[in-house]
Amino acid sequence: MASNATDYIKHHLTFWNSDPSAGFWSLHLDTFSISLVLAFIFAGVFAVVARKAKLENPGRLQLFVESIVEMVDKQVRDVFHGQSKVIAPLALTIFCWIFLMNFMDLLPVDLLPSLAQWVGYTFFGAEPHHVYFRVVPSADVNATFAMSLSVMFCIIGFSISAKGVGGYTKELFTAPFHAEGTVGKILLAPANFLLQMVELLAKPISLSLRLFGNMYAGEMIFILIALLPWGLQWLLGAPWAIFHILIITLQAFVFMMLTIVYLSLAVEAH
């Protein structure tokens, strides 16, 4: 419904806001709804496979799910040095959920937005150019920050669980610079606390921006390819989609691995 390329790009990069006038505090309904649906798909598929799993003559879906579980379990065993029954399920959820979010970028650019426009016009009488629907949740910085902040809270929780409240608080003021005497510890406490906060906050920022940047760039390239003539779309879009499969998998894997590493460091004494 766009009159020119600029309007087309702007339309595809605009979120479906719960309250556009609320600005920062509005809810991106497209990001939330797609993320929720993908979470149910992941949980549903894995739950069905787990219930119907059999030792003899397993199906292809069971073998596929088992390969993912074994891959994640191996990474956790190699990287995480503590003892926890939560790390492997958490890592599996992160990898699969983010992969599904990233995979939405491989759908045709206009498929779901056009469907949203048809639903909005048919059932609600909304003008098509007023209906916005972005389909890649991981290209929304709010979603990636929400996931990375959840990882940060897990880091704090695992640190307190492993070291206790007193031990974790003490570490905030005594590491990374150590001193023997009381006076030295007091003098280094502000610097230690500042560096600890920088380290703690840098983790979610790096996690979120890395994922967001890669997926936003991929989404933008697909939008630009969609502006080309039909023949060029296939000529350029197919190779980029094949290459993008590597990117969406790698980004999910990197987010999972860094989460495992951060949680492993959280339970270790400095």
Point out the residues that are catalytic: 206, 210, 214
Give the span between the Cα atoms of 207 and 254, in whole angstroms. 9
Instruction: Evaluate whether 166 touches 174 at the Cβ level (below 8 Å).
Output: no
Phi and psi dihedrals of 28, rounded to 5?
-80, 100
Q: Is the peptide bond before 108 cis (omega within 30 degrees of 0)?
A: no
What helix, strand, coil percent values describe the chain, rounded to 5?
A: 80, 0, 20
Q: Which residues pair with 17 in a beta bridge?
A: 28
Handedness of CA 35, 18, 11, 208 (dihedral sign): negative
Beta bridge partners of 28: 17
Q: Please check whether residue 148 is in contact with residue 205, taking contact to mean a CB–CB distance below 8 angstroms.
A: yes
